[in-house]
Chain A
Amino acid sequence: MAPKYYWKGYLKLSLVTCPVAMAPATSESEKVRFHTLNRETGNRVVSQYVDSVTGKPVKDENEAKGYARGENDYVILTDDDLDRVALDTVKTIDIQKFAPAESIEWVYLEKPHYLMPDNAVGNEAFAVIRDAMKADKVVGISKLVIGRREKAVVLEPRDEGIVLWSLRFGDEVRPEEAYFEDIEEEADPDLVPLVQKLIKQKTKRWSPDMVSDPIQESLLALIEEKKKALRPKKSVKGKKDVAAPESNVVNIMDALRKSVADELKHRRAG
């Protein structure tokens, strides 16, 4: 998975500015992807834009973003236009404030990104900002336009780089009081030590195994099997002869059901 930078701009602390590149920490690229197919021909189904008045297909180069100014009346905006929105936060992460590390409530953390210098010119300036935050045990607070919204972002030094979190807006986080108001403040003092004893017995180090996806694993295994089964056939008869889909479906369902059942059983036993 090569990192895909989806934003390039500048990181700024007071008079220090360096070019940076940012990539999301999460990616869908390794997920088993389903495609839409035409049941009758077995071909891929693709989406196409057609003009709502003339009904004719629209060429890619004629697709544009329109801001509705009235009914059926749009101002067309190019990506270049959008880059010119009069906010410095389109291109520059200017760190305005520093808050104690861990002081941002987790419930506000929306999406993690990895921030790094975009070229060698910025290496040292980037390292200065990162190391000073590390030394002071603080995170940086700034704002950045991401996906047509200006979001609060938190910058946290990690390893050689910086993790940049976009934060949720205040009105996106539901007030906890409504949910927690009826819960007791204090636990039974006799119970807590018992719970802590259990915690001690069951404490483990974090491992990515804890977030495996048994269903995806089964799907991948099945795809692998089908590939093997298809290969010799293909060389003789060519593409058309796809193995009977009906029987495949049944097998896949059974396999998936079994994989989940096994997972539940195994985990419970262990």
Chain B
Amino acid sequence: MASGQRAQWKGFLKFGEVSCGVALYTAASTSDRITFNTINKATGNRVNRVFVDGETEELVPKEQQTKGFEIENGQYIVIDPEEVASAIPESNKTLEIEAFIPCTDVEDVYFDKPYYLTPDKMGGDAFVALRDGMRKSKVAAIARTVLFRRMRTVLIRPHGKGLIATTLNYDYEVRSSKKAFEEMPKLKIEGEMLDLAKHIIGTKKGDFDPATFDDRYEAALADLVKAKMEGRSLPKPKKVEVSKPNDLLAALRESAGLMKTAESKPKRTAANANSGTGRQRAASGAAGKAASLTAAPQRKAG
């Protein structure tokens, strides 16, 4: 279906004894970022990239280049990835669901690229039944097939009226969060600190639509280039003050207090006259040290 779009892959989706014709469409592309040219500082000219023999330093023309992998220091087996790719069979063009996993089990750090998965005209009934069954059972599906010349695993889940198949990175490409964080101290925050932080969060709750987000980098870079061209000195990066452990509670109290003030000033002064002095005392420690940070909210509060 999806008239006008080009399918990346066409084949079958199979679960149990049921199979239906499906297609995969790229769901996300990468838009351009600013690119720089590499320049020779000594001459101001652009540079070209050439490929030379690591030992003889002579140019190696494209047709003389091949690929290989290293067996031992400096010893290679010549093998071309193109040939490796061509050795991989076209496969049976079937995304076979091997397992369903509970949605709570999904390890999202494996996510690679998302594809819209749609039925062809014949497969509609089975496709829609699978979609609704998965949604009701709160599961995602794991399927595997040869995709783009590699054996790939995809995670399939309902999305609106369709399904999204996300390719997953291989086991050796992903470091688990458990491993990444294992050397961190086991700290558990409770009591007032947690309550204050939760209060701050409460004042900043809302919905977020990523589609509306704007990238300010290009404009900022243009300003920087302009400043440099005009010989103006670039602004020094602002020094960031870190909250010292001893001042953390005070900083939290002040943060929570500032928000309260900003939100409903009259109520606070009437109802929390006592906590006000406490807050001030506590805040004085952090305020001086974090002066640059507090400037904006203070203005707001006053």
Q: Which residues of chain A from 154 to 175 have a CB within 8 Å of any chain B CB? A: 158-161, 163, 167-174
Known: A51-B47, A187-B128. A226 touches B77 (CB 8 A): yes
B194 and A149: CB pair below 8 A? Answer: no
Q: How many angstroms from the CA of A17 to the CA of B238 in the assembled complex? A: 14
Known: A91-B240, A149-B215, A152-B213. A267 touches B98 (CB 8 A): yes
Q: How many angstroms from the CA of A105 to the CA of B153 in the assembled complex? A: 21
Whether, in the assembled complex, B271 has its beta carbon less than 8 Å from a beta carbon of chain A, the answer is no
8 Å CB contact of B129 from A33, A50, A176, A188: A188
8 Å CB contact of A35 from B46, B76, B137, B151: B76
Whether, in the assembled complex, B299 has its beta carbon less than 8 Å from a beta carbon of chain A, the answer is no
Q: How many angstroms from the CA of A33 to the CA of B79 in the assembled complex? A: 11
Whether, in the assembled complex, A107 has its beta carbon less than 8 Å from a beta carbon of chain B, the answer is yes
A163 and B210: CB pair below 8 A? Answer: no
Q: Which residues of chain A from 197 to 216 have a CB within 8 Å of any chain B CB? A: 198-200, 202-206, 208-216
A30 and B40: CB pair below 8 A? Answer: no
A72 and B46: CB pair below 8 A? Answer: yes
Q: Mark B155-169, 1 if CB is under 8 A from A, else 0.
A: 001011110101011
B151 and A159: CB pair below 8 A? Answer: no
In the assembled complex, which residues on chain A have CB atoms less than 8 Å from the CB atom of B146?
260, 264
B72 and A112: CB pair below 8 A? Answer: no
8 Å CB contact of B206 from A33, A98, A122: A98
Determine how close the nearest CB of chain B comes to the CB of A50; give it in whole angstroms.
5
Whether, in the assembled complex, A236 has its beta carbon less than 8 Å from a beta carbon of chain B, the answer is no
Known: A17-B240, A114-B175, A260-B88. A52 touches B47 (CB 8 A): yes
How many B residues are at the interface, by size bracket?
A: 35 or more
Q: How many angstroms from the CA of A252 to the CA of B71 in the assembled complex? A: 14
In the assembled complex, which residues on chain B have CB atoms less than 8 Å from the CB atom of A6?
none
Q: Mark B16-53, 1 if CB is under 8 A from A, else 0.
A: 10000000011111110110111111111111111111
Q: How many angstroms from the CA of A16 to the CA of B245 in the assembled complex? A: 10
With most chain A CB atoms within 10 A of its CB, the pick from B29, B119, B132, B234 is B132
Q: Which residues of chain A from 23 to 77 have a CB within 8 Å of any chain B CB? A: 23, 25-28, 30-54, 58-59, 61-69, 72, 74-77
8 Å CB contact of B83 from A42, A210, A249: A249
A170 and B212: CB pair below 8 A? Answer: yes
Q: How many angstroms from the CA of A198 to the CA of B150 in the assembled complex? A: 28
In the assembled complex, which residues on chain A have CB atoms less than 8 Å from the CB atom of B25?
174, 179
Q: Which residue of A lies closest to B207 (CB)?
A: A99
Known: A65-B39, A210-B99, A216-B172. A121 touches B201 (CB 8 A): no
A106 and B251: CB pair below 8 A? Answer: no
B114 and A107: CB pair below 8 A? Answer: yes
In the assembled complex, which residues on chain B have CB atoms less than 8 Å from the CB atom of A17?
240-243, 290, 293
Known: A75-B228, A173-B28, A205-B105. A35 touches B243 (CB 8 A): no
In the assembled complex, which residues on chain A have CB atoms less than 8 Å from the CB atom of B205?
97-99, 138
Whether, in the assembled complex, B122 has its beta carbon less than 8 Å from a beta carbon of chain A, the answer is no
Known: A43-B55, A107-B114, A125-B248. A149 touches B224 (CB 8 A): no
Q: Which residue of A lies closest to B171 (CB)?
A: A208
A39 and B170: CB pair below 8 A? Answer: no
Determine how close the nearest CB of chain A comes to the CB of B64; give it in whole angstroms.
5
B204 and A98: CB pair below 8 A? Answer: yes
Can you offer 12 A-B residue contacts whose CB atoms are under 8 A? A35-B76, A54-B43, A77-B228, A87-B217, A108-B210, A112-B109, A125-B245, A172-B28, A179-B2, A193-B133, A211-B169, A267-B98
Listed from nearest, the 9 A-B pairs whose CB atoms lie closest are A195-B133, A132-B197, A14-B255, A170-B211, A66-B39, A191-B129, A161-B181, A180-B162, A65-B36
Sample of 13 further A-B pairs with CB below 8 A, known A85-B217, A121-B245, A186-B132: A13-B255, A18-B243, A38-B53, A45-B53, A63-B39, A83-B237, A172-B28, A173-B210, A183-B161, A184-B161, A198-B133, A199-B139, A213-B151
